[in-house]
């Protein structure tokens, strides 16, 4: 039996629907965002408290798995809201039992939400992942690095007699040169994007081909300049590196409010 | 796409539960392993990456996603057993509801 089933099974349906919370915005009247919510297009609307609003949809009390479908639904709502509002994203799967509980959230966290919304005003996030093609980078190192080229030539010329040691040495040289190259690329990208972004954050790389997994916080007015800069950099490196450029996103990587929540039973 | 990275690693919400209890007889290491969903989430992100890079097709993605979801649920169940915080499910502001 899955956790989701166990939760819904132990819940009395008569206690009513829960509220799935997508994000917090600043808006002093209620708003509708259409039938785009998680769980086959639930109606998305706001729960208001003073000039803050939580963007929610009705949901049964269940645990949502972070499947692609669910995550996309969550994200689509935030994208829609983001077209008009600065928002603080809630983490995926956050459900409150009632409108009252959502209002308590807004009430008790009012100041923190207000401060962060002010700080994030008119700012958006872009994701940039850079992957390299190992073979191509090695080839370019063999071309440009004298020591590597010399050693490689020597090994090729004396294939029969070249020692294990020489090969080991070559391997080590290449490894070190690759790390150095990776740092050089990453630093260069950061350097070139510094003027068109407000802040950046590097996340852990995924898989063995990735050398950068970063998020950049950008002023809305600089979106185009940032865009053009990324395109220019990817052209500059097009023979060696693959750029995965995404956004605009809500400022996921630049908002860090720890809420004291407890399980609502 | 960056989407999973964002959502799964969003440092935004970390529920703190009112009650905590430990099973002293369970070895700490085993417990840490059972209750750590970081490697599962990393696998999910790696899978997403593979799909984006065209290394796997959609069917493969769906199949492996289902396996990962199962592992996530198992971790969640262990976390619940140990009275640790879990993501998902109904929450409310704790009594001493001041944000950190």
Query: pLDDT of chain A along its 265 residues, tens only?
Result: 344 443 433 344 434 489 999 999 999 999 999 999 998 899 999 999 999 999 999 999 988 999 999 999 999 999 999 999 999 999 899 999 999 999 999 999 999 999 999 999 999 999 999 999 888 888 888 888 888 988 888 888 876 666 788 888 888 999 999 999 999 999 999 999 999 999 999 999 988 889 999 999 999 999 999 999 999 999 999 989 999 999 999 999 999 888 878 777 6
Give the number of domains in chain A. 2
Do A16 and A60 have their domain in common? yes
Which residues from chain A sit within 8 angstroms of residue B3, using beta carbons?
71-72, 75, 246
Of B4, B48, B92, the CB nearest to A101: B92
A73 in any annotated domain: yes
**Pairwise pLDDT comparison (A262 vs B46), residue with the higher score:** B46
Q: Considering A121, A146, A169, which residue would you say is the last residue of a domain?
A: A121
Partner B contacted by A264 (CB < 8 A)? yes
Which residues from chain B sit within 8 angstroms of residue A3, using beta carbons?
73, 76-77, 80, 89
Which residues from chain A sit within 8 angstroms of residue B80, using beta carbons?
3
Which residues from chain B sit within 8 angstroms of residue A9, using beta carbons?
none
Do A182 and A248 have their domain in common? yes
Q: What is the CA radius of gyration of chain B?
A: 16
Do A212 and A185 have their domain in common? yes
Do A160 and A183 have their domain in common? yes
Do A39 and A99 have their domain in common? yes
Of B4, B73, B94, the CB nearest to A71: B4
Q: What angle do CA A96, A100, A102 make, to 5 degrees?
A: 45
A39 in any annotated domain: yes
Which residues from chain A sit within 8 angstroms of residue B88, using beta carbons?
63-64, 92-95
Name residues whose C-beta falls within 8 Å of residue A200's C-beta, 6 or more positions apart in sequence: A190, A193, A214, A215, A216, A217
Do B15 and A131 make contact, defined as CB atoms within 8 angstroms?
no
Do A27 and A86 have their domain in common? yes
A129 in any annotated domain: yes
Q: What is the pLDDT of residue A78?
A: 96
Q: Assign A31 to helix, strand or coil.
A: coil
CA distance B52 to B54: 5
CA distance A62 to A42: 15
A261 in any annotated domain: no
A141 in any annotated domain: yes
Distance of CA A215 to the CA centre of its chain: 6
Q: For A101, which residue in chain B has the nearest alpha carbon?
A: B92
State phi, psi for A127 to the nearest 5 degrees.
Answer: -105, 140
Do A79 and A143 have their domain in common? no
Structural domain including A222 reads: 125-252
Do A140 and A117 have their domain in common? no
Which residues from chain B sit within 8 angstroms of residue A77, using beta carbons?
none
Q: What is the pLDDT of residue A88?
A: 95
Mean pLDDT within B20-38: 69
Nearest chain B CA: its distance from A177 CA (Å): 26
- DSSP structure string for A124-189: EEEEEEEEE-HHHHHHHHHHH-HHHHHHHHHHHHTTTT--HHHHHHHHHHHHHHHHHHHHHHHHHH
Q: For B19, which residue in chain A has the nearest alpha carbon?
A: A262
- Name the one residue in this structure whose structure tokens are 């070139």: A192
Please report the number of interchain residue pairs, chain A to chain B, with beta-carbon separation below 8 angstroms.
172
Q: What is the pLDDT of residue A10?
A: 37
Distance of CA A94 to the CA centre of its chain: 18
Do A94 and A110 have their domain in common? yes
Nearest chain A CA: its distance from B44 CA (Å): 9
Nearest chain B CA: its distance from A94 CA (Å): 5
Do A95 and B12 make contact, defined as CB atoms within 8 angstroms?
no
Do A73 and A170 have their domain in common? no
Q: What is the pLDDT of residue B83?
A: 81
Do A257 and B99 make contact, defined as CB atoms within 8 angstroms?
yes
Partner B contacted by A200 (CB < 8 A)? no
- Run of H or E including A234: helix A223-236
A265 in any annotated domain: no
Q: Considering A72, A105, A121, which residue would you say is the last residue of a domain?
A: A121
Distance of CA B57 to the CA centre of its chain: 25
- DSSP structure string for A180-228: HHHHHHHHHHHHHHGGG-SEEEEPPP-SSSEEEEEEEEEEGGGHHHHHH
Do A152 and A174 have their domain in common? yes
CA distance A177 to A194: 26
B54: left (phi over 0), alpha (psi -120 to 50) or beta: left
Tell me what ipTM this predicted complex has.
Answer: 0.73
A189 in any annotated domain: yes
A43 in any annotated domain: yes
Q: What is the pLDDT of residue A3?
A: 41
Q: What is the CA radius of gyration of chain A?
A: 25
Of A90, A257, A260, the CB nearest to B94: A260
- Choose, out of B7, B53, B73, the residue to mutate when testing the contact with A (most A CBs < 10 Å): B7
Do A35 and A101 have their domain in common? yes
Q: Considering A94, A121, A148, which residue would you say is the last residue of a domain?
A: A121
Confidence of residue B4 (pLDDT cuts 50, 70, 90): low
- Run of H or E including B91: strand B89-93
Q: What is the pLDDT of residue A163?
A: 76
CA distance A111 to A105: 11
């Amino acid at each position: 039996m899955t956790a989701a089933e166990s939760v819904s099974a132990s819940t009395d349906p008569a206690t009513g629907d829960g509220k799935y919370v997508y994000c917090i915005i600043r808006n002093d009247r209620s708003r509708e965002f259409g039938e785009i919510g998680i769980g086959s297009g639930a109606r998305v609307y706001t729960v208001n408290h003073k000039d803050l609003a939580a963007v929610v949809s009705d949901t049964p009390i269940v645990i949502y798995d972070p499947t692609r479908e669910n995550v996309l639904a969550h994200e689509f709502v935030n994208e829609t809201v983001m077209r008009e509002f600065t928002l603080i994203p809630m983490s995926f799967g956050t459900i409150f039992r009632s409108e009252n509980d959502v209002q308590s959230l807004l009430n008790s966290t009012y100041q923190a939400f207000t401060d962060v919304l002010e700080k994030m005003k008119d700012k958006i996030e872009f994701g940039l992942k850079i992957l390299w093609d190992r073979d191509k980078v090695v080839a370019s190192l063999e071309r440009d690095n004298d020591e590597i080229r010399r050693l490689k030539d020597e090994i090729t010329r004396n294939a029969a007699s070249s020692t294990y040691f020489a090969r080991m040495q070559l391997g080590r040289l290449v490894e070190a040169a690759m790390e150095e190259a990776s740092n050089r690329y990453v630093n260069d990208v950061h350097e070139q994007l510094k003027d068109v972004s407000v802040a950046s954050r590097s996340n852990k790389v995924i898989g063995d081909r990735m050398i950068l997994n970063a998020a950049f916080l950008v002023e809305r007015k600089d979106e185009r300049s940032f865009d053009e800069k990324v395109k220019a950099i990817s052209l500059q490196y097009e023979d060696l590196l693959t750029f995965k450029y995404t956004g605009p996103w809500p400022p996921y990587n630049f908002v860090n409010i720890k809420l004291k929540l407890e399980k609502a039973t | 796409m960056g989407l999973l990275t964002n959502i799964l690693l969003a440092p935004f919400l970390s529920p703190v539960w009112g009650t905590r209890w430990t099973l002293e007889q369970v070895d700490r290491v085993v417990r840490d392993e059972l209750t750590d969903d970081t490697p599962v989430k990393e696998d999910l992100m790696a899978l997403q990456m593979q799909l984006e890079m065209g290394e796997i097709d959609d069917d493969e993605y769906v199949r492996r996603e289902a396996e990962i979801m199962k592992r996530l649920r198992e971790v969640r169940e262990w976390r619940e057993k140990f009275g640790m915080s879990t993501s998902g499910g109904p929450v409310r502001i704790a009594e001493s509801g001041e944000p950190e």
